[in-house]
Amino acid sequence: MSSLFPALADGPREGVALRFGPRTLTYGSLAGAAGALAARLAGAGRVAVWAVPELETAVAVTGALLAGAAAVPLNPKSGERELGHILTDSAPALVLAPPGAELPPVVGGLPRIDVDAFAAGPLPEERAADGDPALIVYTSGTTGPPKGAVLPRRALATTLDALADAWQWTGDDVLVHGLPLFHVHGLVLGVLGPLRRGGEVRHLGRFSPEGVARELNDGATMLFGVPTMYHRLAEALPGDPELAGALARARLLVSGSAALPVHDHERIAAATGRRVIERYGMTETLMNTSVRADGEARAGTVGVPLPGVELRLVEEDGTELTAWDGESVGEIQVRGPNLFTEYLNRPDATAAAFTADGFFRTGDMAVRESDGYVRIVGRKATDLIKSGGYKIGAGEIENALLEHPGVREAAVTGEPDADLGERIVAWIVPADPESPPGAEELADHVARRLAPHKRPRVVRHLDALPRNDMGKIMKRALADV
């Protein structure tokens, strides 16, 4: 197969590849460090990576891929039980970690290689095949123990090349982000993406508006973030003209991993003149759709299918939805070279995830606009509410609620109702806890913007919404509140 990292062999050796805080590796230095590590990993099969947001993690994954090994990123914030499950399930030969990193006992029992980010060795020829495993990334485990999605090398290459097409992404781009490196957003898009293009990635270590402004003012051209990060930027913008100017200079602002509320889209656009674009992907599929750099950055949508990705919406009985009317809701199914090959050790789960004709059942519900733009309305399991004979997506109600000045955060779920089947419940973090907006006021607010049948019937106030490490709201946890 062709190399995942052509720039390591052919790019300018003095060009900066990785910058984590004050620590930097050029392409020449990265080739030496990753090559030296790859020589030690020959025949290893699978290797765990203690995926802290440090230079060594990027070197570890690059070295593993050069060696033809499959990397299993470990979330350093995971508990012992989850880590134990992942290690038992994936059975890595060893763990790669930064020197001095303290590992929990369940990980510390593995043979360990300390990653030397400044070692020097020859760059090996990549001999792995397109279908060979590159990464085994574990899902969030919201419906049981986390499952290991086996991502082949072709999935990484095709997704990153499709994004290069959609975003006009080149080796001249400098990407800044502060995303974790144990998941596909921060690791595949945020580290391997720039390395495949021959560009530079600057990792903030810990996200902050100040860090974003500093890097964008110092030549960075692209910003990747999750909605929580863009919400913090939107909150900071009114009092920070330097941040507004920095964001205005960015070539591309990209949000992913969850829907960015329309309210934050509009606040950022008003302050900077730049629109955030969204894309849609999953652990199992990598990237499926995106707003294109040369397309309309339409708030609330995730754009159009990427090159090579087939996407369809289906009814509950499996029939394909042909109406592109912006209203008809169906489940997203996708097919293409960007897909994972299997859930590790879970043949039944793998078989259940695919249709007979090879489409992956995402579990995400969406509508399509007349021009093909996809608008996600929520997860089938938690965000599709069947009320009074209507199929209602929680996402559009959440966006409407966030336009109310008295609402800081919002989540919407359904709960059983004897008359309606399900009633719409709004979970609200009020802007002013001493004076929260009332249920009738919020219901009227939603009904005016959407439709009367989409208004919440119940409003519950919280101090904060439960979120995971990627900033996604954990709706199943709301049932325990």
Q: Tell me the pLDDT tens digit for each residue of 335-361.
A: 999 999 999 999 999 999 999 999 999
Q: Which amino acid makes up residue 312?
A: R
Q: Please, which residues bridge with residue 49 across strands?
A: 73, 96
Report the 10 Å Cβ neighbour count for 133.
23
Return the CATH number at 397. 3.30.300.30
pLDDT of residue 143: 54
Q: 233 pLDDT exceeds 90?
A: yes
pLDDT-derived band of residue 453, with 50, 70 and 90 as boundaries?
confident
Radius of gyration (C-alpha) of the chain in whole angstroms:
22
Q: 275 pLDDT exceeds 60?
A: yes
Q: 435 pLDDT exceeds 80?
A: yes
pLDDT of residue 176: 98
pLDDT-derived band of residue 378, with 50, 70 and 90 as boundaries?
confident
Distances (CA, A) of 320 to 324, 363, 423: 11, 15, 27
CA distance 263 to 57: 35
Average pLDDT over every residue of 144-148 = 84
Residues 255, 262 contacting (CB under 8 angstroms): no
Q: Is 76 left (phi over 0), alpha (psi -120 to 50) or beta?
A: alpha
pLDDT of residue 144: 64
pLDDT of residue 481: 62
pLDDT-derived band of residue 469, with 50, 70 and 90 as boundaries?
low
Q: 439 pLDDT exceeds 80?
A: yes
Note whether residue 96 is domain-resident.
yes
Distances (CA, A) of 432 to 270, 436, 437, 463: 24, 6, 9, 10
Give the whole-number percent of the chain exceeding pLDDT 90.
Answer: 70
Q: 270 pLDDT exceeds 60?
A: yes
Give the whole-number percent of the chain exceeding pLDDT 70.
Answer: 96
pLDDT of residue 394: 79
Q: 461 pLDDT exceeds 90?
A: yes
Residues 328, 367 contacting (CB under 8 angstroms): yes
**Of the ranges 47-61, 219-233, 273-287, 453-467, which one carries the lowest mean pLDDT score?**
453-467
Q: 151 pLDDT exceeds 90?
A: yes
Note whether residue 169 is domain-resident.
yes
End residue of a domain, out of 190, 205, 233: 190
Q: 471 pLDDT exceeds 80?
A: no
CA distance 135 to 58: 13
Three-state secondary structure string covering the chain: CCCCCHHHHHCCCCCEEEEECCEEEEHHHHHHHHHHHHHHCCCCCEEEEECCCCHHHHHHHHHHHHHCCEEEEECCCCCHHHHHHHHHHHCCCEEEECCCCCCCHHHHCCCEEECCCCCCCCCCCCCCCCCCEEEEEECCCCCCCCCEEEEEHHHHHHHHHHHHHHHCCCCCCEEEECCCCCCHHHHHHHHHHHHHHCCEEEECCCCCHHHHHHHHHCCCCEEEECHHHHHHHHHHHHHCHHHHHHHHHCCEEEECCCCCCHHHHHHHHHHHCCCCEEEEEECCCEEEEECCCCCCCCCCCCCEECCCCEEEEECCCCCECCCCCCCCCEEEEEECCCCCCEECCCHHHHHHHECCCCCEEEEEEEEECCCCCEEEEEECCCCEEEECCEEEEHHHHHHHHHCCCCEEEEEEEEEEECCCEEEEEEEEEECCCCCCCCHHHHHHHHHHHCCHHHCCCEEEECCCCCECCCCCECHHHHCCC
Average pLDDT over every residue of 48-72 = 97
pLDDT-derived band of residue 368, with 50, 70 and 90 as boundaries?
very high
Q: CA dihedral in degrees (294, 295, 301, 302; nearest 10)? A: -40
Note whether residue 41 is domain-resident.
yes
Note whether residue 174 is domain-resident.
yes
- For residue 91, what are the domain limits? 6-190
Token reading at 278: 């969204």
CA distance 288 to 281: 5
150-182 in b/e form (b: 16+ CB < 10 A) is: bbbbbbbbbbbbbbbebbebebebbbbbbbbbb
pLDDT-derived band of residue 454, with 50, 70 and 90 as boundaries?
confident
Residues 419, 453 contacting (CB under 8 angstroms): no
CA distance 246 to 198: 24
pLDDT of residue 136: 98
End residue of a domain, out of 190, 216, 246: 190
CA distance 239 to 247: 14
Question: What confidence tens digit (pLDDT) does each residue in 97-109 have?
Answer: 999 999 999 998 8
Note whether residue 134 is domain-resident.
yes
pLDDT of residue 258: 78
Provide the number of structural domains found in the chain: 2
Token reading at 341: 């090959």
Higher pLDDT, 481 or 417: 417
pLDDT-derived band of residue 260, with 50, 70 and 90 as boundaries?
confident
End residue of a domain, out of 155, 190, 225: 190
Report the 10 Å Cβ neighbour count for 207.
21
pLDDT of residue 319: 92
Average pLDDT over every residue of 362-388 = 84
Note whether residue 373 is domain-resident.
no
Report the 10 Å Cβ neighbour count for 339.
25
Q: 280 pLDDT exceeds 70?
A: yes
Report the 10 Å Cβ neighbour count for 372.
12
Note whether residue 409 is domain-resident.
yes
Return the CATH number at 68. 3.40.50.12780
CA distance 294 to 167: 8
Q: Tokens 């919201």, residue?
A: 142
Note whether residue 128 is domain-resident.
yes
Q: What mean pLDDT is reported for the chain? A: 91
pLDDT of residue 480: 65
pLDDT-derived band of residue 188, with 50, 70 and 90 as boundaries?
very high
